[in-house]
Structure 1
Amino acid sequence: MTEHTFTGPRTFPDRTGTEQAERIDAERVLVVGGTGKSGRRVAALLPGARVASRAGTPPFDWRQPATWPAVLGDARAVYLSYPSDIAAPGAAEDLAAFAALAARSGVRRLVLLSGRGMPWAAASEAAVTGSGLEWTVLRGSWFAQNFSEEFLVEEVRRGSFTLPVPATAAEPFVDLDDLAEVAVAALTGPGLVGRVLELTGPRALTMTETAEALAAAIGRPVAFRSVAPAAYRDGLVALGLPEGEAGLLTHLFTEVFDGRNTPVTADVPEVLGRRARDFASYARRAAAAGAWPSPA
């Protein structure tokens, strides 16, 4: 099997200790955040699944609970991707309220996208795991696609990327295509109910090695620049980010790159039955797709 081929999730015994977990058809799945980096990949793997977003019909907005009921319909499983960050103020309350509504609406299962090594996300995770519904929590490592979609893409195009971490900080970046396949397995099959999965790539790369992998894929130099957290926060504010959000992101980055997330897990290979996609392979695919054209 090649590392790019999705042939469906592996079959697992039910971890809930019951016989009640069921398989759920794609048509009964709702993808909340279905136009985001992870959500659109989940939706693409589930033809017939419904997508909830602010631009959708009907629209869905986390900050407007009155928009929530219309998107649920007859959904039995829901993929939950919270905007900005799962640890952001109000996230746990929103997730708890949505889970309660989902339970009243006949939803059976929730699959929550969370972050790896983020104890401050505990309240948001508890809103789902304590909902009384079937649940799976996906704790993702840093997304490889952060370098090619939205977040760092413009910097990389100009030949560098900047983070408030040392060059020796190492991360086993997870490919969002892998994460989406795991999410589909959790949404549609019974075997991942009641599990917290930590999703990583097959190896950890330092920031220097990450820059080298990007440079090799793009065909021109890419450098990593380490800056002090305060300078990084100020830079985000200068780009127009609110001070609170800039401070939260800076805190998250400095915390999760302290070495706690460097170890690789076997959860992706266990679920998908193949090796996780490597960062270098991701970089080659993204470069071939035109993610980083030469700046004008």
Structure 2
Amino acid sequence: MFHALTRNPQSPAAQELQRLGADIAHGDFEDPTSLRTALHGVRSVFAVTTPFGTDTDAETRHGIALIDAARDVEHIVFTSASNADRGTGIPHFDSKQRIEEHLVTAGPRWTVLGPAAFIDDKFGDWTLNGLREGTFHLPLPSDRELHLVAVRDIADVAALALEQPDRFAGRRLDLAGETLTPAAMAEALTAAIGHPIRHHCPPLDVVARYSADLAAMFGYFTEVGTDIDLPRLHAELPEITWHRYADFVRGLAWPELLQAQPA
């Protein structure tokens, strides 16, 4: 049996998890008592935090509250971000660094996973609007390599860590399946969609109008980047089938995604 923590047990997502066999536990990150009650009898915890929808201070506060409530569990697997332990200056990375530091000093046995840039979340309305016009917008130079990882691969590594705590305890692993340049992503999109796609790098000051946080992230990726040793990582985790960007975009339902939206 696995438990799923939710603020709203009646939400569609919670109901779907229950249908899949989860025991739904109510908890609120602003209410430590509810977290301790929800975690009673739990052996291991998988945790992921986000500032989006709140702010980075709330993310840190929520992560620390969960760790403190989970002091009696055997193992916490926390999903952070690649390079978040290095003082990047990226707000939603630095908030995770503060959670990591608390976990290492105050938590039970722990594992930290640091995913690179997600493959899966790059196809929101802004991207799709550009693709309809033949342009792939990504705020990186066309020849700058970016580490990428599929959400499914993060989940598979997390499950492995929960199943084999002795193997992963006290370790921090940055995760990526491959590196690609935006130019190579545009080539993969061209092949998947069936018409030419070119990459465009929006200026960071334009990105900052939407999100200073994301502008800081892409600035960091441009100037510093991540340095995951892919051969070593993949050799160490032979159980993981790392998904590739080209395979992912080839599997998307492009006719439906690119259908013009009603005015």
Specify if TM > 0.5. yes
1:260 counterpart residue number: 225
Q: Within 5 Å, give how 1:183-198 maps onto structure 2.
A: 183-190=158-165, 191-198=167-174
Quick one: distance in 2 between partners of 1:181 and 1:291? 29
Q: Within 5 Å, give how 1:184-223 maps onto structure 2.
A: 184-190=159-165, 191-201=167-177, 203-223=178-198
1:128 counterpart residue number: 103
Give, as a single letter, the amino acid of the residue that structure 1 aligns with 2:49: Y
Classify the secondary structure of the residue corresponding to 2:200. Answer: strand
- Change in Cα spacing, 1:149 to 1:164, as seen in structure 2 (3 Å) is closer
How far off is 1:98 after superposition? Answer: 1.5
Classify the secondary structure of the residue corresponding to 1:220. Answer: coil
Q: Determine if the alignment matches structure 1 residue 115 to structure 2 residue 90.
A: no
Q: Structure 2 regions of 5+ residues with no counterpart?
A: 8-12, 88-93
How far off is 1:213 after superposition? Answer: 0.9
CA contact (8 A) 1:32 1:80 kept: no
- Change in Cα spacing, 1:259 to 1:132, as seen in structure 2 (3 Å) is closer
Structure 1 range deviating more: 211-220 or 179-188:
211-220
Quick one: distance in 1 between partners of 2:46 and 2:148? 21
CA contact (8 A) 1:229 1:250 kept: yes
How far off is 1:211 after superposition? Answer: 1.5
Give, as a single letter, the amino acid of the residue that structure 1 aligns with 2:233: D
Instruction: Give the counterpart of 1:93 among 61, 66, 69.
Output: 61
Q: Determine if the alignment matches structure 1 residue 143 to structure 2 residue 152.
A: no
CA contact (8 A) 1:157 1:292 kept: no
Quick one: distance in 1 between partners of 2:253 and 2:117? 19
Classify the secondary structure of the residue corresponding to 1:166. Answer: coil
Q: Within 5 Å, give how 1:60-79 maps onto structure 2.
A: 60-63=27-30, 65=32, 67-79=34-46
Deviations 1:234-267 (A, max 9, x none): 1x1xxxxxxxxx2122112211343531554232
Q: Which is richer in helix?
A: 2
Classify the secondary structure of the residue corresponding to 1:145. Answer: coil
Quick one: distance in 2 between partners of 1:197 and 1:117? 10
Quick one: distance in 2 between partners of 1:151 and 1:177? 23
1:292 counterpart residue number: 257
Quick one: distance in 1 between partners of 2:191 and 2:30? 42
Quick one: distance in 2 between partners of 1:252 and 1:142? 10
1:278 counterpart residue number: 244
How far off is 1:124 after superposition? Answer: 2.0
Q: How many residues align?
A: 240
Give, as a single letter, the amino acid of the residue that structure 2 aligns with 1:91: E
Give, as a single letter, the amino acid of the residue that structure 2 aligns with 1:173: L
CA contact (8 A) 2:51 2:59 kept: no
CA contact (8 A) 1:30 1:79 kept: no
Classify the secondary structure of the residue corresponding to 2:168. Answer: coil
CA contact (8 A) 1:218 1:287 kept: no
CA contact (8 A) 1:163 1:232 kept: no
How far off is 1:193 after superposition? Answer: 1.4
